[in-house]
Structure 1
Amino acid sequence: MGCGRVGASMASQLDRMGHSVAIIDRNSDAFRRLPADFNGRKVKGIGFDRDALEQAGIDEAYAFAAVSNGDNSNIIAARVARELFGVEHVVARIYDPTRADVYERLGIPTVATVRQTAEHMMRHVLPGGTAREFMDPSGAAGLVQPDISPAWVGTTVGSLEERLEVRVAWISRGSGVVIPQAGTIIQEHDRLHLAATTQQLPAMQRALSRPPAQEV
C-alpha cells in the first residue's frame, strides 16, 4: 500500500525477482513511479478499504507492506490485512517512534523511519557510536553495527565474542557478506553486525572504541 518512492521501489524489486505483486494508491498518478515494464497489478483506492484490498488479491497474499505517508493509514491497513484477511507477514512504516513502539508490542512489525534515519545520521555526525539495526519488541536485545577501533583488526571473531560476551551475526566486507566462524579474522574496513542485550551496549561500545589490550 502506497506508491511513493519506497512503495514503488519495493514493488519494482519484487516484480523483477519474479514475485506476483499488487500495489494500491489513492492517486493513479503515483503509478508513474513504476517502471514501464512493471508486470504487477495497479489498484486505485484506499489501502485499508476491503474492496481495494480484494482487487489487489489480498486473499492470496503472502505478505503486505503499508508504506504510505500516513501513520494512521499504515497501521489501520496493516491490522486489516493481518486480522481480517489473515496475512501472516505484515509490516507498517511509522514516522512517530513512540507509536511504533506501541504497535511493536501489539505484535505488528514496524519500520520507524524517523528514529532509524536519525540514528544512522547521528552515527556519522558523532563517530564512535552504535547504529541500532533491529531491536526486539521488548527492547531487551537487538542487532547493532558499532564503530570499531582499527586496533581490533587482526583479532579473531571468537576472541571478540569471548571478551565482550556478544555474538557476531555477520560481517559486511566490501560489497559482500561473511558469515563468520570463531577463527575468522577481522579485517580493515569490516563492518560487524553484533547481537547483544541492551544492557551490554554501553560497555560494548566503550570496549570496541579502544585497543583490545586495554579492554577491561
Structure 2
Amino acid sequence: MTGPPEIISSSDAVLLDFDGPVCAVFGGLADHQVAAGLRELFEGELPDAVDRSRDPFDVLKYAAATTGGFATVVEHRLRELESRAVEVAPPTPGAVAVLESLSRQAIPVVIVSNNSETAVHAYLQAHGLTNVVADVSARTNADVSELKPQPHLLLRAASFLGVSPERCVMIGDSVTDIEAAQRAGAKCIAYANKPGKREQFEELQPGAIVDQMAELI
C-alpha cells in the first residue's frame, strides 16, 4: 500500500466522513437512545430487528421503506436528535490536526456524511472548524437512497469542488464509506478505529488503512 500522506498529497481533494473521523456523534447521546426516540413516533408494533436495533438509521430506513411520507417526520426528528448529540460529541483525537494540516497544504476538504447537514454544520461552528472545511455534503432529506454506500454524496462533493471523483480521496471508518468511494471511482483511506475493523477493511482493499487519524499527516 502507498502511504496515507502520499495518497492525500497526490489528490485534489479530501472527502472526509464525519461520525468517526471527526467526532463520535453518538458518544454523548447514545445511538440506542436516539433510535428509541425515533421508534416513539410509530404506532403499533415494529419488526423485531427494527425494535431491537441500536442504529437510528435502521429506523429511518424502515420508515422510508414502509410508511411513505412518514419518513419525512422520522428524518426531521433524527435531525433534531443528531443536533443535540453533536453538542456533547467527543472530538476524535488528531482530527483537528489533520484538518489544519490539509488547510496548510491547500487541499480542500468536504465533509461527506449520512448524518444531517444541520448537525455537521453545528459541530463545525461550535468547534471553530468552518474555516478549514470547504463544504458539507450530508443528509438533507428522508431519501435514504442518497446515503452511503451509494456514491451520491461523494459525487455531489466532487461536483461542488469542480474536480473529478478520481482525483478525490475518501477517508472513512465504515464499510459503507469504502463501498461509496469505490462506486464513485474515488480513492479511499480506511480508518480502523475499533478492534476487528482492520481485518474487515482489508477484504475491501482500500488504498490504505490507518489506526489513528494522526497517521494521515
Scaled to the shorter chain, the TM-score interval is: 0.3 to 0.5
TM-score, length of structure 1 as denominator length: 0.40
Structure with a larger share of its residues in helix: 2
TM-score, length of structure 2 as denominator length: 0.40
Which structure is higher in RCO with an 8 Å CA cutoff and minimum separation 6? Answer: 2
Structure with a larger share of its residues in strand: 1
Larger Rg: 1
